[in-house]
Amino acid sequence: MTALARAVGAPATAATLTVTDATGGSRELRLAGRLDAYSISGVWALARAEAARTPNRSVVIEASGVVYCDGAGVAMLVDLLRQERSAAAPVTVRGLKPEFQTLLDQFDPAAFRPPAAAPPERLHAVEEIGRAALIVWRDMVTQIAFVGETSAALWFAIRHPDRVRWKDVWYTCEQVGANALPIVALISFLIGMIIAFQSAVPMRQYGAELFVADLVALAILRELGPLMTAILLAGRSGAAFAAEIGTMKVNEELNALTTMGLDPVRFLVVTRILAALLMVPLLTLFANIIGILGGALTMISFNIPILTYLREVDSLVDIKDLWAGMAKTPAFAILIAGIGCLRGLQTETGAAAVGISATRAVVSGIILLVVVDGVYAFIYYLLDI
């Protein structure tokens, strides 16, 4: 920090500007010292202001005192020369040392005139809506095409299980499943604890803390276990899928697959969807158990022993509730993996594009998860499950 401050604050020789009235009614700006990027900011502003103040008098920049001038100094001189002025009152540079003059001569100030400001293009509201709708429509078409392609590839995988790259599936299972255990455990344990605590405080006023056990178990089994696991995986694996496939696309690896006659959907998407289909139910089961245990910990602090808690859970919660939650997991799995892969395949060129794809995978993944979860809730309500 101090080194930088010294470097910026103390140039070897500062640039100076003195303004005088010369003979013949012209203004003379006498530049001297060192013209580099660190020293010129002050004199640049001064010289510009001075030139602008005298639009009807010719301005002579007397530069014989300049001892050093690099690209920055030349840019400043070009800036002073390029200003639009009447022909009777030009800006001229005089006395610049030949070695600096040759540098300056490489630039034609007229070429650097700022272009006349074009009025910003404004779209009619209708056009804006139309364009936005077109983008949404195209995105929908690709998504529908992708669903079709993926279904076909999955169907092919079911009929020809020997053509599936199981090695890749197991590897992805490890990434998606085993490696996600700690974070899933942490979040579901906290969720269980928090729900139990937040409901135990008011329930205690009615002496009904024991029923918190049912509340926690029902909420976790039916809703929070599957949903939280899915949201975690959307953030974790959905983004990873998008980034992996996106990077492969940027590196032309997807093109390489295509010209080898290997369908990227079968090769990359199917393996990931299969891995997610295997792992999401298992992780959800795990999250359910840990969540209920989290609730148990809170209840112990409310003087309800763990056995009493579990017996209460057992008395009211049915196996049907577990299945109601588990039934959602295949849909969630396909959704997370599918969206992640789709966004990856849609990646445009460049490193930033991979980041954009990962973000889009997470955002659209979570939105769709919530929508699908709502659909399930509605169906369960109609079926009275």
Partner 1 sequence: MAADPIIRVENLTAGYDAEVLMRDVNFTVNRGEVFVILGGSGSGKSTLLKHMIGLYEPMSGRVLIDGDDIVTAEGEAHYAILRKIGVMYQSGALFGSMTLLENVRLPLEEYTALVDEAMDLLARTKLRLVGLDQFCGHMPAELSGGMQKRAAIARAMALDPTILFLDEPSAGLDPITSATLDELILRLAKSLHITFVIVSHELASIYTVADRVIMLDKRKQGIIAEGDPKMLRDSSDDPWVRQFFRREAAAEAT
Kindly state whether residue 261 participates in binding partner 1, applying the rule CB under 8 A.
yes
Q: Would you say 86 or 349 has its CB closer to partner 1?
A: 349
**SS3 sequence, the chain?**
CHHHHHHHHCCCCCCEEEEEECHHHCEEEEEEEEECCCCCHHHHHHHHHHHHHCCCCCEEEEEEEEEEECHHHHHHHHHHHHCCCCCCCCEEEECCCHHHHHHHHCCCHHHHCCCCCCCCCCCCHHHHHHHHHHHHHHHHHHHHHHHHHHHHHHHHHHHCHHHCCHHHHHHHHHHHCHHHHHHHHHHHHHHHHHHHHHHHHHHHCCCCHHHHHHHHHHHHHHHHHHHHHHHHHHHHHHHHHHHHHHHHHHCCHHHHHHHCCCCHHHHHHHHHHHHHHHHHHHHHHHHHHHHHHHHHHHHHHCCCCHHHHHHHHHHHCCHHHHHHHHCCHHHHHHHHHHHHHHHHHCCCCCHHHHHHHHHHHHHHHHHHHHHHHHHHHHHHHHHCC
Kindly state whether residue 258 participates in binding partner 1, applying the rule CB under 8 A.
yes
Q: Would you say 102 or 258 has its CB closer to partner 1?
A: 258
Kindly state whether residue 259 participates in binding partner 1, applying the rule CB under 8 A.
yes
CB of 89 to partner 1, least distance (A): 35
Binding residues with partner 1: total (CB under 8 A): 12
Kindly state whether residue 363 participates in binding partner 1, applying the rule CB under 8 A.
no
Site for partner 1 in 235-254 (CB under 8 A): 247-248, 251-253
Q: Looking at 203, 262, 282, 372, which residue binds partner 1 (CB under 8 A)? A: 262
CB of 152 to partner 1, least distance (A): 13
Stretch that binds partner 1, among 50-58, 114-122, 257-265, 374-382 (CB under 8 A): 257-265
Kindly state whether residue 301 participates in binding partner 1, applying the rule CB under 8 A.
no
Q: Would you say 179 or 251 has its CB closer to partner 1?
A: 251
Q: Looking at 256, 306, 370, 385, which residue binds partner 1 (CB under 8 A)? A: 256
Q: Looking at 1, 10, 88, 260, which residue binds partner 1 (CB under 8 A)? A: 260
Q: Name the site residues for partner 1 (rule: CB under 8 A).
A: 247-248, 251-253, 255-256, 258-262
